[in-house]
């Protein structure tokens, strides 16, 4: 754990939280590459929500394309934490 807890600092609550990294197929590259999994907060007026249906994304480290993870993939990632 770092010095700052980003979930407690209001100005930093909008920063995505990295959940891990894994090998997965990339839609753009067409190959299996390393992806960063992270939770993205959603802005509603003046508040950032951490829990919403499209909050989990995977970004390819080769082409930097992001994919929203839903369904079984989303449950698997959150279940492994």
H or E element in which residue 23 lies: strand 17-25
Instruction: Identify the pLDDT of residue 30.
Output: 87
d(CA 58, CA 20): 10
DSSP state of 42: E
Instruction: Identify the pLDDT of residue 1.
Output: 47
d(CA 46, CA 37): 25
Could you tell me the pTM of the whole model? 0.74
Summarize pLDDT for 60-73 with one digit per residue, the tens: 999 999 999 999 98
In sequence order, which residues have a C-beta less than 8 Å from that of residue 34 and are 6 or more positions away? 21, 22, 23, 60, 61, 62
Summarize pLDDT for 16-60 with one digit per residue, the tens: 889 999 999 998 888 899 999 999 888 888 777 888 888 999 999
- Where residue 15 falls among pLDDT bands split at 50, 70, 90? confident
- The answer to whether residues 17 and 37 touch, using CB atoms and an 8 Å cutoff, is no
């Amino acid at each position: 754990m770092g010095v700052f807890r980003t979930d407690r600092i209001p100005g930093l609550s909008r920063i995505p939280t990295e959940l891990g990294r894994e090998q997965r197929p990339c839609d753009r590259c067409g190959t299996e590459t390393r992806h960063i999994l992270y939770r993205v907060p959603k802005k509603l007026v003046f508040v950032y929500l951490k829990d919403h249906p499209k909050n989990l994304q995977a970004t390819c480290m080769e082409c930097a394309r992001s994919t929203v993870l839903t369904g079984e993939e989303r449950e698997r990632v959150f279940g492994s934490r």
